């Protein structure tokens, strides 16, 4: 499953870069994140709970490995999430480029979903990923805005 798009933040590339890689920010903005710890400069681990509608919010153990990091321009995340209802894993690449006073983020995630959620929930995978992307981006934008204001 490919999720891609772009989003313009009102802030410098450096500010956006810092926000994106700040575990606190990730924990705040990634939908369902319970906990996110930067266990190494290029590695995060945490827990997420994702539930939709009647589907009980299932806990995922999440690990994110950063590779190909070129501050403040681009990085790639290798994502590995496992939980009782299945797993999700894949890579997501983020590119930042200045755009006037703001910063354009281009992202492309190639995610695989497996287990029970894939087997019986395929109808909703696209919608859920769209929803989570939207929520995450909006929260991120708010966070960037808050930081710049603060």
Partner 1 sequence: MSPRWLGERVPRLEDTKLLTGRALFTDDVDLPGMLHAAFLRSDEAHGVLRGVDVAAARARPGVVAVWTAADLGDYWKPGPLLVPPPPIAGIVFNAATQVPLAREKVRHVGEPLALVVAESRYLAEDALDDIVVDIEPLPAVMDLEAALAPGAAVVHDELGGNLAARARQTKGDWAAARARAHAVIARRFRYDRGAAAAIENRGVVAAWDARSEELTVWDTTQAPIPIRNGLAGMLGLGQSQVRVVAPFIGGGFGPKIMMFYPEEVLIPWAAMRLGRPVKWIEDRRENFYATTQERLQIHDAELAVAKDGTILGVRDRFLSDTGAYDPYGLTIPINSQCTLLGPYAVPNYDSEFTVVFTNRPIVTPVRGAGRQHGVFVMERLLDLAARELGMDRVEIRRRNFLPPDAFPHDHQILFQDFRPLVYDSGRYAEAMDQAVAAIDYERFVRVEQPKLRAAGRRVGLGIVSYIEGTGIGPYEGARVTIEPSGTVRVATGVGTQGQGHFTTFAQLVSDVLGMDPSKVQVITGDTREFGWGTGTFASRGAVVAGNAVHEAAIRVRKKVLALAGAVLDAKEDALVLECGSVHVKGAPERAIRLGDLAVKANPLRGGVTPGTEPGLEATAYFGPDRGNAANGVHALIVEVDAETCEVRILRYVVVHDCGTVINPTVVEGQVQGGVAMGIGNAFYEQLVWGENGQLMNASFMDYLLPTALDVPAVEMRHTVTPSPLNPLGAKGVGEAGAIPAAAAFAQAVEDALQGGIEVLEMPLSPNRLFELMQDGAA
Partner 2 sequence: MKPAAFEYLRPGSVDEALELLERHGADAKPLAGGQSLVPAMNFRLAQPAVLVDLNGVADLAGIAAADGGLRIGAMTRQRAVERSAFAAERAPLLAETLPFIAHPQIRNRGTVGGSLAHADPAAELPAVMVAAQARLLLRRRGGERRVEAERFFTGLFATALEPGELLTAVELPAMAPRTGWAFAEVSRRHGDYALVGVACLVTLDGRGRCASARVALLSVGEGPVLAPSVAAALAGAAPTPEAVRAAAEEVDADVDPPSDIHASAAYRRRLARVLTRRALTRAFDRAASR
126, 138, 142, 146: which one binds partner 2 (CB under 8 A): 126
| Sign of the torsion angle spanned by Cα atoms 131, 60, 27, 17 | negative
Asked if 115 and 85 count as a contact pair (C-beta separation under 8 A), the reply is: yes
Q: Which is nearer to partner 1, 31 or 115 (CB)?
A: 115
Structure tokens belonging to residue 85: 């209802």
Does 87 sit near partner 1 (CB under 8 A)? yes
3, 10, 15, 52: which one binds partner 2 (CB under 8 A): 52
Q: Which is nearer to partner 1, 97 or 112 (CB)?
A: 112
Query: Reduced to 3 states, what is the DSSP secondary structure of residue 51?
Result: coil
Among partner 2, partner 1, none, what binds residue 115 when CB lies within 5 to 8 Å by partner kind?
A: partner 1
Strand 43-50 versus strand 2-9 pairing type:
unpaired
């Amino acid at each position: 499953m490919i999720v891609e798009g772009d989003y313009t933040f009102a802030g410098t590339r450096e500010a956006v870069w810092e926000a994106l890689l700040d575990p606190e920010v990730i924990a705040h903005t990634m939908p369902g994140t319970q906990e996110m710890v930067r266990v190494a400069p290029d590695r995060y681990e945490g827990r997420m709970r994702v539930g939709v509608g009647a589907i009980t919010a299932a806990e995922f153990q999440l690990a994110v490995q950063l590779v190909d990091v070129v501050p403040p321009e681009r990085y790639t995340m290798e994502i590995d999430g496992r939980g009782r209802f299945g797993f999700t894993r894949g890579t997501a690449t983020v590119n930042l480029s200045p755009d006037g006073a703001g910063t354009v983020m281009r992202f492309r995630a190639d995610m695989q979903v497996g287990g029970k959620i894939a087997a019986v929930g395929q109808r909703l995978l696209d919608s859920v990923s769209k929803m989570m992307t939207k929520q995450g981006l909006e929260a991120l934008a708010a966070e960037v805005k808050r930081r710049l204001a603060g």
